[in-house]
Amino acid sequence: AWANLQAAPADKILGLTVLYNKDTNPSKINLGVGAYRDNNGKPWILPSVKKAEEVLAKTEESKEYVPIVGSPKFNELIKTLLYSHDDAGKQLLKDGRVLTSQGISGTGSLRVLGEFVRTFYPTSKKVLVPNPTWANHVAILEKAGLTTEKYKYYDFKTNALDEQGMLADLAAAEPGTVVLLHACCHNPTGVDPKLEQWDKILDVISEKKLLPFLDMAYQGFGSGSPIEDLGILFKFNKAVADGKLSNFVLSQSFAKNMGLYGERVGSLSLITSGPEETVRVKSQLEKVIRPLYSSPPSHGSKLVEIILSDEAIYQQWLKDVKVMADRLIEMRALLYDKLKNTYKNPLNWDHLLNQKGMFCYTGLSEEQVKKLIDKSVYLTSDGRISIAGIYPANVDYLAKAIHEVTTN
């Protein structure tokens, strides 16, 4: 049956890892993969997760299916995590306007929301996505039957937000179009709008009655605190509570901020006009999820329940997130210092310090990336590096390699 099937093109990032694994240079560096590594370059299981695993091993009573939208406890805890830290969020909760569901990490939550929007959002089947965005966004949304179109986001000359371009593209959108926004630590650029820029973005969204589709995959990696990183969400909550915006949808992942990558746990939220609508939306959401995967996996979500409900473990989690975020900030500073002070690289590297989260868009050209790969430094052709792949023992080799390819 598959005799004439052509092979699919290799995945850019997974392809890099294959090359990296084959490389015998002991100094090789993998800056492709978007997963946290510790100061020795090793994956890290968070101490809070280890504790939650111990608790779960002692207390788990069954491996039964969980409900289609996840357990009631999980959903209550998600509401508390995301909507109970600001007055507007509290008001939305009190008014019964927040519907949450467990999702299969960020990807699954995006897909379910994509399916829901395509099936039930009456106004538009088009999603505007930032240029550039996480490559899988386009694939997920298009597989869900939506079309996508880019809006200006990153200024490739200044390595900063193209504020005017973004506002103009959103203002030119058909009223009612869906607009995908990264809630914090934009992937791949590391460039987030500042709070006052978010106000302007919200003004256009409100004027054009766009439906914001927020994706929050790195909550906590911006500021070091998962709660502080909700600053953008607070603005959207307030816009809804003030009647400036009628609703938004949000996809959220615990892959990065709990290090639960392979457990596939996250959530999605929809804002409704009130309790009666929430019940109707939930019933249809269940109809979307059921034929996709029936019900979500339970091991990761039980760990999340323990972490978010046990005060001591929750406090440990906040510390763990800070450890990860601080290490990434330190590595940005260390690489900057090496480039500017040790190697006296003539280029401006301020964006290394200004960008947030796991990734930095270096501004390196495709040609320079090729030369770096020849030196056993692996990164994607767009010049994105995962800061998590940098650690004290490899930063000098990395800085030297970048210096060489940018000055020769």
- Using DSSP's 3-state secondary structure scheme, residue 385 falls into strand
Q: Alpha carbon of 62 to those of 56, 58, 159, 262, 379: distances in Å?
A: 11, 12, 51, 21, 43
| Window of 46-54, 99-107, 113-121, 325-333 that interacts with ligand PMP by CB under 6 A | 99-107
- Whether 345 and 117 have beta carbons less than 8 Å apart is answered as no
215 binds ligand PMP (CB under 6 A): yes
Task: Read off the tokens for 327.
Answer: 């290490």
Q: Identify how many contiguous H helices and E strands the chain contains and give both numbers.
A: 15, 13
Q: What type of residue is 186?
A: H
* Cis preceding-peptide flag for 132 (omega within 30 of 0): yes
Residue 226 in the binding site for ligand PMP (CB under 6 A): no
Site for ligand PMP contains 402 (CB under 6 A): no
Kindly state whether residue 154 participates in binding ligand PMP, applying the rule CB under 6 A. no
Q: How far is the CB of 219 from ligand PMP (least distance, A)?
A: 11
Which positions are catalytic? 134, 215, 256
Calpha distance 151→140 (Å, rounded): 18
Contacts with ligand PMP in 108-137 (CB under 6 A)? 134
**Cβ-based nearer residue to ligand PMP, 106 or 226:** 106
Chain residue at closest Cβ approach to ligand PMP: 106
Select from 211, 255, 285, 307 the one that contacts ligand PMP (CB under 6 A): 255
Residue range at the interface with ligand PMP (CB under 6 A); choices 63-71, 101-109, 167-175, 322-330 = 101-109
Instruction: Tell whether residue 253 is a contact of ligand PMP (CB under 6 A).
Output: yes
The answer to whether the CB of 348 falls within 8 A of the CB of 389 is no
Q: Is 215 helix (H, G, I), strand (E, B) or coil?
A: strand
Is 105 a residue that touches ligand PMP (CB under 6 A)?
yes
Give the residue from 146, 60, 14, 101 showing the smallest Cα distance to 293: 101
Query: Which residue, 334 or 388, is less far from ligand PMP as judged by CB?
Result: 388
> Does residue 107 belong to the site contacting ligand PMP (CB under 6 A)?
yes
Residues that bind ligand PMP (CB under 6 A): 34, 105-107, 134, 182, 187, 215, 217, 253, 255, 261, 266
